[in-house]
Amino acid sequence: MTADRRRTRVDLRSDTVTKPPAGMRAAMAAAEVGDDVYGEDPTVHALETRIASLLGHDAGLFLPTGTMANQVAIQALVPPGGELLCADDAHIVSYEAGATAVHGGITTRTWHSPDGIIDPGVIAAMIRTGGGYAMPTTAIAVEQTANLPGGLIHPLDRLTALHTITRRAGVALHCDGARLWHAHITTGTPLQVYGGLFDTVCVCLSKGLGAPAGSVLAGPADVVADARRLRQRAGGAMRQTGILAAAGLYALDHHLQRLAENHHHARCLADTLTGTGTVTPTRVHTNMVLLDLTGTRWTGAAFTAAAATHGVLLVDVGPRTVRAVTHHEVTADQIRYAGDVLLRLLHRQR
C-alpha cells in the first residue's frame, strides 16, 4: 500500500458527517433573518412553506433536530396515555431516549418485520379500539426509509394500503421521513404522493442533504400550530434561525438530486463485496450498505476497528453487523478504495 493510500480517509459512518460547502456557508451568511419566535424570520418562513408544498401539506414547522420533529408531531397526534404503534427497530423507540414516554406520556407497542418492510395486515391486526382498561390506538408511525434495516424503501402499494387501513380505523399516520428524500430519488415517486399518505411528515436536512442542522415537520395547519406550541415547551423555539434555514434551502437546490450519485456509490460498494457473502445487493435500496458478518470470524466491533486502521470509518450496528453510509463528500475513487480495504479484510478473516 502506497503512502498516499495509507493517508486516505473515507468516512462512511453516516451521511450526517458532511461539512457545509462554501456555497452553503455563503447562503447562510447572506440570509435575511428576523425573530422567528415572533414569526418574523422570512428565510424560515420560505423553508417551511417550500417543504410543506413539496409534501402536499398546509403548513410546515422548522425544528433543530429530527428527534424533536418526531416527538412534537407524535404529541400533537396522541394524547397522554394514548397508544402509538411503530416498528420494533424504529428510531422513535430506539434512538430518541424514551422521549415518547417521558415527554408525551405515550404508550407504544411495536411490530416486527423480518425483512424490514411493513406488512399492512400485521399492523391492522394490532390496532386497538379501546374498551375496559385498554387505551385505543391513536397513531401509527412509519419510517421511510427504514434506517436500521439498511435504508430500505417501503413499497408505495404497502404504504397506500396502510393509509386506507388507518382512515377506516380513525387512526393518525405519521411518517418519520428523515430520509424520505432518498425514497423519492430512488423510486421517482413524487414527494406530494408520499406526503399525501400521512397526516404528518417530518424530513431531515442534515441526513444526505448536507445541512448542518434542522428538520421540518409538515401537516395540517391546526396540527402544526399545536406542534409549534409543543416545540416551545421542548425548548426548541429559536430566534434568527434563518441562518440555518438558508442552509436547508441551499441543500434542496444543490444536494437533493445528488442523492442518486450517493445511491450509485452504495451499490458499487455492495457489488464489490457480493462474493464475500456479507452483503445482499438487492437490499441496497439507497445509500446504506449493511455487512452481515455472521458467516465470518469477525465481530462488528473488531471489523470496524480494523477498517479504521486503513482509514475506512464504519459503524457497528450489531454484534455482527456493520453499516456503511455514502454521502456527497465521498468520491468514486474513495468507494473503490473502501471496497478494496473491506474485501481484503473479509478475505483475511482476521
Range of the domain at 71: 22-254
Distance CA 109, CA 78 (A): 14
Q: Is residue 205 part of a domain?
A: yes
- Which DSSP state fits 311? T
CB 75 within 8 A of CB 174: no
CATH code (residue 112): 3.40.640.10
SS3 state at 219: strand
- Last residue in a domain, options 204, 222, 254: 254
Q: What percent of the chain has pLDDT over 90?
A: 95
CB 36 within 8 A of CB 239: yes
Half-sphere exposure of 279 (CA within 13 A, CB side): 26
Q: Which range among 2-6, 98-102, 103-107, 327-331 shows the weakest confidence by mean pLDDT?
A: 2-6
pLDDT tens for 120-145 read 999 999 999 977 788 899 999 999 99
- Same domain, yes or no: 193 and 128: yes
- Same domain, yes or no: 59 and 118: yes
Is it the case that residue 349 has pLDDT exceeding 80?
no
Q: Which range among 20-24, 101-105, 186-190, 346-350 shows the weakest confidence by mean pLDDT?
A: 346-350
- Same domain, yes or no: 239 and 264: no
- Same domain, yes or no: 249 and 262: no
Residue 260 has what pLDDT? 98
| Strands in the chain per DSSP E | 10-11, 59-63, 83-87, 107-111, 137-143, 172-177, 200-204, 215-219, 288-292, 312-313, 315-318, 321-325
Distance CA 160, CA 83 (A): 22
Q: Is residue 4 part of a domain?
A: no
In the chain, the amino acid numbered 21 is P
- The sign of the CA dihedral 89, 91, 96, 100 is negative
- Last residue in a domain, options 232, 254, 276: 254
- Last residue in a domain, options 225, 254, 283: 254
Residue 1 has what pLDDT? 43
Q: Exposure string (b/e) for 118-154, b if CB count within 10 Å is 16 or more?
A: bbbeebbeebeeeeeeeeebbbbbbbbbbbbbbbbbb
Residue 133 has what pLDDT? 81
Is it the case that residue 20 has pLDDT exceeding 80?
yes
pLDDT tens for 239-252 read 999 999 999 999 99
CATH code (residue 265): 3.90.1150.10
Q: Is residue 3 part of a domain?
A: no
Q: What angle do CA 293, 295, 299 make, to 5 degrees?
A: 40
C-alpha distances out from residue 87 to 144, 278, 330, Å:
12, 24, 31
Q: Is residue 170 part of a domain?
A: yes
What is the average per-residue pLDDT within 292-313? 96
Domain count, the chain: 2
Residue 131 has what pLDDT? 77
Residue 135 has what pLDDT? 87
Is it the case that residue 6 has pLDDT exceeding 60?
no
Residue 348 has what pLDDT? 80
Q: Which ranges in 234-331 belong to alpha helices (H)?
A: 242-254, 259-273, 300-308
Q: What angle do CA 88, 212, 207 make, to 5 degrees?
A: 35
- Same domain, yes or no: 67 and 209: yes
Q: Is residue 138 part of a domain?
A: yes
pLDDT tens for 218-264 read 999 999 999 999 999 999 999 999 999 999 999 999 999 999 999 99
- Same domain, yes or no: 217 and 263: no
- Same domain, yes or no: 143 and 91: yes
- Same domain, yes or no: 109 and 151: yes
- Same domain, yes or no: 209 and 293: no
CB 196 within 8 A of CB 170: no
Residue 134 has what pLDDT? 84
Q: Is residue 15 part of a domain?
A: no
Angle of helix 42-54 relative to helix 242-254, nearest 10 degrees?
Answer: 40
Residue 26 has what pLDDT? 98
This prediction has a pTM of: 0.95
- Residue 13 corresponds to which cell in the numbers above? 459512518
pLDDT tens for 45-75 read 999 999 999 999 999 999 999 999 999 999 9
Is it the case that residue 214 has pLDDT exceeding 90?
yes
Strand 200-204, strand 137-143: pairing: unpaired
